[in-house]
Amino acid sequence: MQVIIKENYDEMSKEAAQIIRDAIHLKPNLVLGLATGSTPVGTYKELIRMYEEGELDFSKVVTFNLDEYVGLPPNHDQSYHYFMHDKLFNHININPANVHIPSGIAKDFAKYCQWYEDEIKKAGGIDLQVLGIGSDGHIGFNEPGTSLASRTSLVTLTEETIRDNSRFFEKEEDVPRFAITMGVGTIMEAKCCLLLANGEKKADPVSVLVEGPITSQVTASALQMHPNAIVIVDKAAASKLKRVDYYKWAYENRPRF
């Protein structure tokens, strides 16, 4: 696991965008896994800037989003369909046919989840998966106790996640109680995982993700077993890591060949 510590949110976002840019330059038809929430917004803004300035072409890129609330139609202003189009897709030249976001209004969720898994396989698997981390250490909506071998499925959100996400809704009662999410096992099959975290609230889960035991109680900790995981955090999110000096030294002295 490579841990990159940046001074602040803006620097973290730019570093992540540069990694994504380089991946698209290397493979124009990159299969890119995307996340929602406040954390990746800065990265998406930077990708939009790169596109507008001619640095990036998204016309062949294929995307798969991690998750979606159950019960929210795509045009709902708190759905992840709406979020992704508002924060990224409406501002770049991505082909709508190449965009995949889980449906929160599927009629048969079991069949739909299998279809989503099959679509990822048809695309050749995810090359680069962008991730955030919840305050309880979850990735996607894989809450504490989720099997580290789980696949895309319908899940029940924890009270903590509902409270955390209530800031996006008028009141806590409006937050959906269920979601559809890629499983931990699905995420772990991505060729590269890029996890972003910022702020003091993420310091505890980041410390377990990087230096704690591998446990289903913190599903992000599964990334310790991934052969190519990159964690980019700001100083606040890194504040409880014990080996900060090494992570900085390793980044500054990383191979450049």
Point out the residues that are catalytic.
67, 136, 138, 143
- 140 Rama sector, left if φ>0, alpha if ψ -120 to 50, beta otherwise: left
H/E element, 159: helix 159-165
Helices 9-26 and 41-52 cross at an angle (nearest 10°) of: 50
Nearest by Cα to 66 from 187, 228, 167: 187
How far is CA 244 from its chain centroid? 23
Q: Output b/e per residue, 49-67; b: 16+ Cβ within 10 A.
A: ebbeeeebebeebbbbbbb
First-residue to last-residue Cα distance in the chain: 19
CA distances from 187 to 183, 225, 242 (A): 6, 12, 27
3-class DSSP assignment, residue 86 = helix
Nearest by Cα to 224 from 199, 201, 206: 206
The β-bridge relationship of strands 128-131 and 192-197 is parallel
